[in-house]
Structure 1
Amino acid sequence: MQYQGVLKKMQTEHTDPINYYLVMEGDFIQVNQLLNRRLHIEFVKYECLACGENKKIFRQGYCYDDFYKVPQAAEWIMKPELSKAHLGEEDRDLAYEQSVQLQPHIVYLANSSNVKVGVTRKTQVPTRWIDQGAHEAIEIVEVPNRYLAGITELALKEHVSDKTNWRKMLKNDIEDVNLKEHREILKQYIPEEAKQYFIPTNEETHVHFPVERYPEKLKTLNLDKTPAYEGTLKGIKGQYLIFEDDTVFNVRSWEGYVVRLEILN
């Protein structure tokens, strides 16, 4: 069986374990059903997520020109403290920025390899945690806009990491911690503007991933260097496919690449 389509991050469903779906041209694949099956992945061409043209992907699924033009790739995406829609100030497209920034946001703690602080729209809970490969997470504050979430994250990351060790996450080199205790410790560092939005009572969310075998020595699949690969799928965690030979493939890192996916057995 063979499929073809432009790569975008896998869609997820918060079940036990997580269900993963890969959307292809006119179809979708429930990736969990591919566990223990041999797959062939082959690069076909580029397809920029903005203009749709066969132009080399620069970052985040966009060609060079579109990366510096579309609001979906603006700096406030990665640095929410730079959000300005609440002031009525435009960065690249005020209507888009208002639609994204002026809605409830969550500042959270997640544990995938270590405890980290992060920001996401409320509508992206728990999707954001699943995409990061976090096995547990908890909300700290729920604020009305992205700017307040950004300055809260900025203050808290002085006291807790804002990075995930993706190698430890994929090797399942993890330890369970009491995120409620971490939240209480960090409460004192929340900026004055966001203190009223502190969430004191909710419980941890736990996530289980469909992995039958974790890798020991990681090898990353790079479609630029290895345009064709064949291997047996043994797990899915975060946005990574994990193969029997310890190769890992971060689907989200290759957004905008059109691939042919063949199920060999």
Structure 2
Amino acid sequence: MQYQGVLTKMQTEIGNPIQYYLVFEDSFLSMNQLLNKEIEINCTGFQCLNCNKKKKIYRQGFCYDCFYSSPAVGDWIMRPELSTAHLGIADRDLAYEEKVQLQPHIVYLALSTEIKVGVTRKTQVPTRWIDQGATRAIAIVEVPNRYLAGITEVALKNHYTDKTNWRKMLQDTEIAFDLIAEKAKVESLLPTQVQEYFVTKSDDLFKLNYPVVNYPAKIASLNLDKTPTFSGKLVGIKGQYLIFEDGTVFNVRGSEGYVVDINI
């Protein structure tokens, strides 16, 4: 059976294990049902997720022009401390930025291979943690805008990483940490402006289980630009990665905007 469409990040549903879906315009694939089955991926072109033109993807599913013009990929996305909508100051499009930035945000600690600090909109819990491949996560503060979340993350980056080591995450090299105990330590490290937003609940630890049959001993990353056709047996899904029996891993989110045929 063949499925065709433009890749976007896999949609997820909380469960034990987490459920993954590849969604196209006219069809979708339940990826969990494909574990231990052969899959062939063929890249046939590109389509920008913003303008829908069949243009080469530059970054994050956007063509070059859209990446440098769309408000959806402003610098404040990756660096929330640069948010200015709370001041009424536009970066690229104030109406869009107010919609995204002026809503509740969570600063959290997550565990994949080590403790990571991060920021997400409250509406993206627990999706954000799933996308990062975290096995545990806990909210630290809940603030009313993205800027406050950003300055909190900056303060805590002096004590925790803000990056996920994706290779170690995919090899299941997690080190045991007590996130509830870590959260208690964090309260005294918060900027003055956000101390009132500290999440006092201690029982809100998320535990996440992924559909992985086997973790790879060695990893080879699939790049559709270099290898437009690939086939292999799917043995796991974690974060936004498909894990194949031969150690090949495919970052679906990293290939957003690529047009593919998938043969099952």
Short-chain TM bin:
over 0.9
User: SS of the residue aligned with 2:58?
Assistant: strand
**Corresponding position of 1:90:** 90
Q: Residue 243 of structure 1 aligns with which residue?
A: 244
SS of the residue corresponding to residue 128 of structure 1 reads helix
Contact 1:139–1:202 (Cα < 8 Å) also in 2: no
Question: Which residue pairs with 1:11 in the alignment?
Answer: 11
Distance in structure 1 (CA, Å) of the matches to 2:112 and 2:260:
29
For residues 197-232 of structure 1, what are the alpha-carbon distances to aligned partners after superposition, in whole Å with 9 as ceiling and x for unaligned? 001223210000000000010000000000000000
Alpha-carbon distance in structure 1 between the residues aligned to 2:160 and 2:10 = 28
Q: Is the 8 A contact 1:5 1:259 kept in 2?
A: yes
Instruction: Find the counterpart in structure 2 of residue 252 from structure 1.
Output: 253
- Residue deviations 1:10-41 (CA, integer Å, cap 9, x gap): 00001110000100230111100110110100
Which residue of structure 2 lines up, in the alignment, with residue 57 of structure 1? 57
Counterpart of 2:191, as a letter, is P
Deviations 1:223-264 (A, max 9, x none): 00000000000000000000000000000000000010000x
Letter in 2 for 1:31: M
**Alignment of 1:201 onto 2:201:** yes
Q: What does residue range 183-194 of structure 1 map to in structure 2 within 5 Å?
A: 183-194=183-194
Q: CA-atom RMSD, angstroms?
A: 0.7
1:104 aligned to 2:104? yes
The 5-angstrom pairing of residues 52-201 of structure 1 reads 52-201=52-201
**Match for 2:201: what amino acid?**
T
Structure 1 residue 43 corresponds to structure 2 residue 43: yes
Other structure's SS at 2:174 match: coil
1:153-210 C-alpha deviation (Å, 9 max, x unpaired): 0000111111111111000011231101111112111000000000122321000000
The count of aligned residue pairs is 263
2:234 is aligned with 1:233: yes
Could you list the runs of 5+ residues in structure 1 that have no partner in the other structure? none
Question: Partner amino acid for 1:76?
Answer: W
Amino acid paired to 2:198? F
- Name the CA distance, whole Å, in 2 between partners of 1:25 and 1:144: 34
Q: Matches of 1:70 and 1:208 in 2, distance apart?
A: 35
The SS at the match of 1:52 is coil
**Distance in structure 2 (CA, Å) of the matches to 1:139 and 1:187:** 12
Partner residue, 1:210: 211
Amino acid at match of 2:78: M
Q: CA deviation at 1:137?
A: 0.3
Asked whether the equivalents of residues 3 and 25 of structure 1 are also in contact (C-alpha less than 8 Å), the reply is no
TM-score for the superposition, normalised by structure 1: 0.98
Deviations 1:41-95 (A, max 9, x none): 0001000001111111000000000000001110000000000000011111111
Q: TM-score when scaled to structure 2?
A: 0.99
Question: Counterparts of 2:36 and 2:201 in 1: how far apart (Å)?
Answer: 41
> Which runs of no fewer than 5 residues in structure 2 stay unpaired?
none
After TM superposition, what 4+ stretches of structure 1 lie above 3 angstroms from structure 2? Answer: none
Which amino acid in 1 is paired with 2:218?
A: K
Alignment partner of 2:200: what SS? Answer: coil
